[in-house]
């Protein structure tokens, strides 16, 4: 057990990474509390309107579509630690302003729309810079473990944040939740300020006269099939399958006619599985195979379909745990396959493109799914997202098999298993 734990958490032996992970954990617990409280507040202010909830979700991610690629060029040209301190500081200031309006009872729906857009701008800069910054904290050898622990940090926040928010909303209302989340949002700024720059694994920054162009990053990815396939697949899955922030609130309130506590339980069940999925990747020492990635995508599509068709609340809770596992295991495998296959000079721009694909598709997906939910119910939004995700995984599997000249083979004895056959070699899927 000691050996397993030392392997799982080995990146935490690096002081700068400990500070980074600690600051992120505190902030993200507050962010998830704020998101849960915000969703519930929007439903209260708009009389349970799915369209209003979809609009807020979309506005949170529109800046990601517009600014993320530019933020990637900044990450390749400027000091990432400084950029993170600025973007996290801006997020904290905006969160304080919104919390004051809510606490004083002056908040209106149009206020929430404005803050969603402004907070989205801070997120559009922070996310690709943070993704690229991890490699500077630990170096290439520990990068797979550090990426998995970063995902585990995110999922730990998803476990505790919604659960705390659900209880707090039921007992105290939305105001105290927002006030607490603003205090927690300041943590990354202090943690990043205490880092030791001399211990960072920094590549040489290009001269100020040499620009890191967005088009160069796009050309780089276009010519790399091993990067293009996971990005194309996650483009579809992130757009239509990763909409639980929108659908679970409506599932709890409109399908099962329950309150904030059940919404918190749904999020917690999803997050418990997600945390397990993140920790499952911490032992990985190299780049995940493309077929592991594709198998995780197929599993996610099947499980999302099952959640959408589940007729009972207890069954939804049970299914959300493995669904959360597959959600994060898939996302982390895609992230690691991209990060561990990219040249350091292009890491900021490539990760910006990945973030754009992963988060920037949310405005389109949330509006489409909210339209479906408005007409056919929350369950339809979930199972349809699962069906589209499964179709995307199968299409990408066929694409990969044809590109590599591989074939699928089904082995019945001595135990059933699906294998990928390439020439004279066999890779177990």
Residue 192 and residue 92 in contact, taking contact as beta carbons nearer than 8 Å: no
Cross-strand pairs, 427? 420
Residue 294 and residue 400 in contact, taking contact as beta carbons nearer than 8 Å: yes
Q: Give 375-422 pLDDT, tens digit per residue.
A: 887 788 888 889 999 999 999 998 988 887 777 766 656 665 667 766
Domains, the chain, in order of start with CATH, read 11-428 (1.20.1250.20)
**Among 10-14, 57-61, 143-147, which is the least confidently predicted range?**
57-61
Q: Return the pLDDT at 429.
A: 46
Start-to-end CA span in the chain (Å): 28
Question: Average pLDDT in the 132-147 region?
Answer: 82
Handedness of CA 35, 37, 39, 45 (dihedral sign): negative
Q: Give 62-94 pLDDT, tens digit per residue.
A: 787 788 888 888 877 778 888 999 998 998 888
Q: What percent of the residues of the chain are helix, what percent strand, and what percent coil, each to the nearest 5?
A: 80, 5, 15
Q: Give 33-56 pLDDT, tens digit per residue.
A: 888 788 878 888 887 777 787 788
Q: Give 185-214 pLDDT, tens digit per residue.
A: 888 888 989 998 888 887 655 555 456 677
Tokens of 139: 């170096």
Q: Rounded to whole angstroms, what are the CA distances from 219 to 129, 181, 216, 226, 353?
A: 20, 40, 5, 14, 12
Q: Return the pLDDT at 426.
A: 47
Residue 132 and residue 75 in contact, taking contact as beta carbons nearer than 8 Å: yes
Q: Return the pLDDT at 396.
A: 93
Residues in the chain, overall count: 429
Residue 266 and residue 317 in contact, taking contact as beta carbons nearer than 8 Å: yes
Q: Give 329-370 pLDDT, tens digit per residue.
A: 898 888 888 888 887 677 778 888 888 887 767 667 777 877
Q: Give 147-200 pLDDT, tens digit per residue.
A: 878 877 876 776 677 777 777 777 777 777 788 888 888 888 889 899 988 888
How far apart are alpha carbons 134 and 119 in whole angstroms?
22
Tell the residue number behind the tokens 């754009």, with chain if given. Answer: 356
Q: Return the pLDDT at 1.
A: 53
Q: Half-sphere exposure of residue 105, counting CA atoms within 13 Å on the CB side?
A: 0
Residue 83 and residue 127 in contact, taking contact as beta carbons nearer than 8 Å: no
- Collapsing DSSP states into helix, strand and coil, what is residue 47? coil
Residues 6+ apart with CB under 8 A from 111: 98, 101
Q: Give 97-137 pLDDT, tens digit per residue.
A: 888 888 888 888 888 899 888 988 888 888 888 888 888 88
Spell out the alpha helix ranges (H) of 173-213: 174-185, 187-193
Spell out the alpha helix ranges (H) of 281-417: 290-309, 313-339, 347-359, 362-376, 378-404
Handedness of CA 108, 109, 110, 116 (dihedral sign): positive
Question: Average pLDDT in the 313-340 region?
Answer: 87
Query: How many other CB atoms sit within 10 Å of the CB of residue 351?
Result: 30
Question: Average pLDDT in the 295-314 region?
Answer: 89
How far apart are alpha carbons 295 and 230 in whole angstroms?
12
Q: Give 217-233 pLDDT, tens digit per residue.
A: 788 888 888 889 999 99
């Amino acid at each position: 057990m000691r050996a397993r734990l030392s392997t799982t958490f080995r990146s935490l032996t690096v002081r700068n990474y400990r500070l980074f992970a600690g600051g992120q954990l505190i902030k993200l617990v507050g962010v998830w509390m704020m998101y849960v409280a915000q969703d519930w507040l929007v439903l209260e202010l708009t009389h349970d309107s799915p369209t209003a909830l979809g609009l807020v979700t979309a506005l949170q991610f529109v800046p990601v579509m517009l600014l993320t690629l530019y933020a990637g060029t900044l990450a390749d040209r400027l000091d990432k630690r400084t950029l993170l301190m600025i973007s996290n500081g801006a997020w904290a200031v905006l969160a304080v302003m919104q919390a004051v309006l809510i606490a004083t009872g002056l908040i209106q729906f149009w206020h929430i729309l404005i803050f969603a857009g402004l907070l989205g701008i801070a997120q559009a800069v922070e996310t690709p810079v943070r993704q690229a910054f991890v490699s500077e904290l630990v170096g290439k050898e520990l990068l797979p473990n550090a990426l998995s622990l970063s995902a585990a940090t995110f999922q730990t926040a998803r476990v505790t944040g919604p659960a705390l928010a659900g209880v707090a909303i039921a007992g105290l209302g939305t105001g105290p939740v927002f006030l607490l989340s603003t205090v927690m949002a300041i943590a990354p700024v202090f943690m990043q300020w205490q880092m030791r720059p001399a211990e960072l694994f920094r590549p040489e920054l290009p001269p100020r006269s040499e620009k890191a162009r967005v088009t160069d990053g796009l050309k780089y990815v276009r010519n790399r099939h091993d990067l293009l396939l996971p990005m194309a697949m996650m483009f579809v899955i992130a757009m239509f399958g990763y909409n639980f922030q929108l659908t679970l609130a409506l599932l709890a309130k409109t399908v099962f006619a329950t309150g904030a506590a059940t919404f918190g339980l749904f999020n917690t069940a999803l997050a418990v599985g997600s945390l397990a999925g993140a920790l499952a990747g911490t032992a990985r020492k190299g780049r995940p195979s493309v077929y592991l990635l594709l198998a995780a995508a197929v599993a996610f599509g099947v499980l999302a379909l099952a959640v959408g068709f589940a007729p009972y609340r207890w069954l939804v809770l049970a299914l959300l745990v493995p669904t959360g596992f597959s959600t994060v295991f898939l996302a982390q495998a895609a992230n690691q396959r991209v990060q561990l296959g990219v040249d350091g000079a292009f890491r900021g721009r490539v990760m910006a493109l990945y973030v754009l694909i992963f988060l920037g598709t949310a405005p389109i997906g949330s509006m489409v799914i909210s339209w479906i939910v408005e007409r056919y119910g929350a369950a339809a939004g979930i199972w349809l997202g699962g069906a589209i995700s499964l179709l995307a995984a199968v299409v990408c599997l066929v694409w990969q098999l044809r590109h590599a000249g591989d074939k699928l083979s089904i082995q019945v004895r001595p135990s059933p298993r699906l294998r990928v056959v390439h020439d004279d070699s066999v890779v177990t899927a």
